[in-house]
Amino acid sequence: MATLTTQLEAVNSMLGHIGEAPVNSIADTSTLPVSASTALSVLDEVSREVQTMGWHFNTTNKYTLTPLADNTIQLPSNTLHVDTTDGSKDVVQRGLKLYDRKNNTNEFSSSLDVTITFLLDWDDLHEQARRYITLRASRIFQTRMMGSRELEALIARDEFIAKSQLEEVDSRGSDRTIFDNYDVYTGIGINRNYDI
């Protein structure tokens, strides 16, 4: 039965790009060879970097946040970015709390609907994201460990293709149109006040 790329397979793919032997497990990082430990660290780093961009798969457009007893709003621990859906409010993330920049306070009297981007665990990513993250991490890992420009160029080609596939899948899943972007919509210059 086919399965999605596991984190272990991703690390072994990275090791393969520099000619290192695969490892059987990444469960106990204290027993890993330095190269495998470094590969796992780079994989986590790149996963965080890629997900910070905010994709359809890790962003929720209408997520309700409710104040706690002390009137502060605590964000989920895996929050990468948050913004209110109400244009009249100006809120930002400060640590794991929401801050109201307009009123200079971290206290809120009511719930807020926000757009929120989450950092997902590896097992929650779809295959196109896993593939792109693995190849990007492979290129960075190879550069740090070996610095071969030839290998970097070969991996970069595959990385480019994987990113294009991720963008295509993400775009299809989000059902976006050109009218979802206000600048494009107004740039078209739709004017209904014309003479026939």
Please give the average per-residue pLDDT across 100-111, as a whole number: 94
Is 0.75 topped by the overall pTM?
Answer: yes
Give yes or no for a contact between 137 and 117, defined as CB atoms under 8 angstroms apart: no
Tokens of 144: 């740090």
State phi, psi for 191 to the nearest 5 degrees.
Answer: -135, 110
Between residues 186 and 6, the one the model is more confident about: 6
Is 162's pLDDT higher than 70? yes
Is 189's pLDDT higher than 60? no
Is 11's pLDDT higher than 80? yes
Q: Quote the DSSP letter at residue 109.
A: S
Is 182's pLDDT higher than 60? no
At residue 122, the pLDDT reads 98
